[in-house]
Amino acid sequence: MTGRLLAGRYQVGSLLGRGGMADVYLGTDIRLGRTVAIKLLKSSLTGDPAFRARFRQEAQAAARMAHPTIVRVFDAGEEIVRDENGIDSPVPFIVMEYVDGKLLKDIIAMGTLEPAEAVHIVDGILTALEYSHRAGVVHRDIKPGNIMITRTGQVKVMDFGIARAVSDSSATVAQTTAILGTAAYFSPEQARGESVDARTDLYSTGLVLFEMLTGRPPFRGNSPVAVAYQHVSEEPPSPRSLSAKVTPTMDAVILHALTKDKHARFQSAAEFRDDVHAAASGRTPELRLPSNDPSATLFGARGDEPLNPALKQLAMDDDSLVRTQTRPPAVWVWAGILSVAVIIVSVVIWVLTLAPSQELPNLSRTVPSLAGSTFEEATAELAELDLVAVPRSEPSATVAEDQVTRTEPDAGTVVERDVEIQVFVSTGREQAGVPAVVGLNQAAAIQGLELAEFTVGSILSEHSPDQPDGVVLATDPAPGTLIEKGATVNLRVSDGLVEVPDVRNLPLAEAREVLEGPTLRLRVSVDRVGDCGEASDVVVTQSLAPGTVPQRSAITISYCDGT
């Protein structure tokens, strides 16, 4: 596929890698002049019309997600490709953001990660999942091979929606297994062929965190079927038993994420992230009950299904008292009855003597408008209303850095006391790399910069020996430089001319070197003239006068031959 032009605008470059369901190539969007990654789906999927239709829908859903922790999807389509037998077939492709970094699976292959590094990476994964789950998109294939770490340490999750397209099409079980890769990251419900939801992604994230800290997945076997069976029927080993770096609290968090019953494991990415942070800071994470059973106790659900044993152990009080008496003494019974009677009489007297009040106690609060304030000011204002501020951050083109942009719930919303209010603080304008528009004509370069949300500044004409008139020679800042969106980018554009110098009185060889060199590249011819004195290799005349001339102009220089 190298060298092919997809959809009339995406130039396929070198192969970056191969996966279970696709090959990934470096590419160039020639319309916008930016580097992209192009994913071409395996031919084993192209014959399934249901998959191709579902794939297009899921690619569109993924393209609507814009978050720093998610690899952006720019475009998707199909390209007709002819195989070696002369048969044409449609090949689905995705055009994605190009990420300069390493796959997490390659990082893990180099050795176990330090706990702080693992916490940073899982925080990025869970942040991406929190965003996608809120948008109604379940990944279904969270694994180290789908997670990129950039050179600056940023976490990027990719391939959103593709696994759903596969599982919802008519692909066979064998195809699905090949596409989704190893079964080491299946959830129990996936292994059983049941419907999945956001909690499937959280189980897989727990597997990734397990592997980052121990260097291996919890379940291994001779075949994908054997591994899938273990996800359904066997308890995972304690991460702490495989690595001394894992603390008891982090061990408990991981095992809770790997609970077989999806109702008993973490119910949201935010819950999982909060407990990871608590464990990383040395605090005991909050213990939560299964979501589908209000009668569940701290240590079990429905009286016979215990919660994760590690969390149970952390929650148990070693000094708890044991009851040994079957019934209270009679004197305690009568004392209790008398106390209750006194309380009832006191309450009746208080009610009868209470002056009527025209006001009911105000148990609700209205979220104030905090836009433009600092987070500290917002926290103080919410505290006065018995509301809890939770920090969040987001880029903003209109709100200055470190100032509040908005809240969730919105200002004016009526809430109860002690409710958490998410306060979003501006990180300033969103940054992006300057598009690679060098080599494009001026109109296309301006269009590319504006589409990337930059402002075109000055356009300076400059001589060039080889670039045609109107072609961009350079940008300021240079392509790839990270700057704020909306910032000014200046252009230097070729005018299609060169400046001819005066080479008279220069030795012939030196004059040719100047005129034919990389800065001029003129077409030079040499002539000799007579009746000019003694023979010499010094240039006596030149056919083009010093000044500007079109590129690749012809010029004749002459020397005296002494005749």
Domains of the chain (ranges; CATH) run 5-97 (3.30.200.20), 101-291 (1.10.510.10), 364-426 (3.30.10.20), 431-495 (3.30.10.20), 498-560 (3.30.10.20)
Is residue 110 classed as helix, strand or coil in its secondary structure?
A: coil
60-92 pLDDT per residue, tens: 777 777 888 999 888 888 887 776 677 777 788
pLDDT above 90 covers a percentage of the chain that reads 44
To which H or E segment does residue 406 belong? Answer: strand 404-408
| Peptide bond before residue 477 is cis, with ω within 30 degrees of 0 | yes
Q: What is the DSSP letter of 195?
A: -
pLDDT, residue 84, reads: 65
- The predicted pLDDT at position 459 comes to 94
- Check residue 492 and give its pLDDT: 95
420 in Cβ contact with 367 (< 8 Å): no
- Report residue 50's pLDDT band, with 50, 70 and 90 as the boundaries: low
Greater confidence (457 vs 66) lies with 457
> Does the pLDDT at position 276 exceed 80?
yes
User: At residue 315, does pLDDT exceed 60?
Assistant: no
> Helix crossing, 269-280 with 115-134: angle to 10°?
160
Whether residue 163 has pLDDT greater than 70: no
The pair of structure tokens assigned to 84 is 């070696």
- Rounded CA-CA distance 556/65 in Å is 62
Nearest to 139 by CA among 152, 130, 148: 130
The answer to whether the beta carbons of residues 166 and 96 sit under 8 Å apart is: no
Q: Please state the rounded mean pLDDT for residues 548-561.
A: 93
pLDDT at position 292 over 70? no
Per annotation, catalytic residue among 88, 123, 141, 561: 141
Distance CA 290, CA 300 (A): 9
Instruction: Give yes or no for residue 235 having a pLDDT over 60.
Output: yes
Q: Confidence class of residue 169 from pLDDT cuts 50, 70 and 90?
A: very low
Flag whether pLDDT at 300 surpasses 80.
Answer: no
- For the cut 80, the answer to whether the pLDDT of residue 305 exceeds it is no
The predicted structure's pLDDT at residue 152: 87
CA distance 115 to 123: 12
d(CA 223, CA 477): 53
Tens of pLDDT, residues 472-512: 999 999 998 988 888 899 999 999 999 999 999 999 999 99
Lowest mean pLDDT among 134-138, 231-235, 298-302, 328-332: 298-302
Active site (annotated) includes residue 304: no
pLDDT band of residue 428 (cuts 50, 70, 90) is confident
Quickly state the pLDDT bin for 532 (edges 50, 70, 90).
Answer: confident
Full-model pTM: 0.51
At residue 464, does pLDDT exceed 90? yes
Distance CA 314, CA 299 (A): 11
- 312 band by pLDDT with thresholds 50, 70 and 90: very low
Per-residue pLDDT at 175: 42
Question: Residue 78 and residue 39: Cα distance in Å, rounded?
Answer: 11
47 or 558: whose pLDDT is higher?
Answer: 558
Mean of all residue pLDDT scores within the chain: 81
Indicate if the pLDDT at residue 372 is higher than 70.
Answer: yes
Q: What region does 442 belong to: left with phi over 0, alpha with psi -120 to 50, or beta?
A: alpha
The answer to whether the beta carbons of residues 149 and 121 sit under 8 Å apart is yes
What is the end-to-end Cα distance of the chain in Å, rounded? 64
pLDDT for the residue numbered 493: 95
What are the beta bridge partners of residue 424?
Answer: 392, 406
Q: Which range is least confidently modeled, 167-176, 220-229, 250-259, 419-428?
A: 167-176
| 438-452 residue pLDDT tens | 989 999 899 889 888
| Statement: residue 180 has pLDDT above 70 | no
Q: C-alpha angle with apex 483: 477 to 484, nearest 5 degrees?
A: 135
pLDDT, position 529: 87
The whole-number pLDDT of residue 325 equals 41
Using the predicted structure, report yes or no on whether residue 346 has a pLDDT greater than 80. Answer: no
pLDDT tens-digit profile of 105-155?
A: 999 999 999 999 999 999 999 999 999 898 888 888 899 989 999 988 999
pLDDT value at residue 33: 87
Instruction: Report the candidate in 118, 410, 430 with the shortest Cα–Cα distance to residue 277.
Output: 118
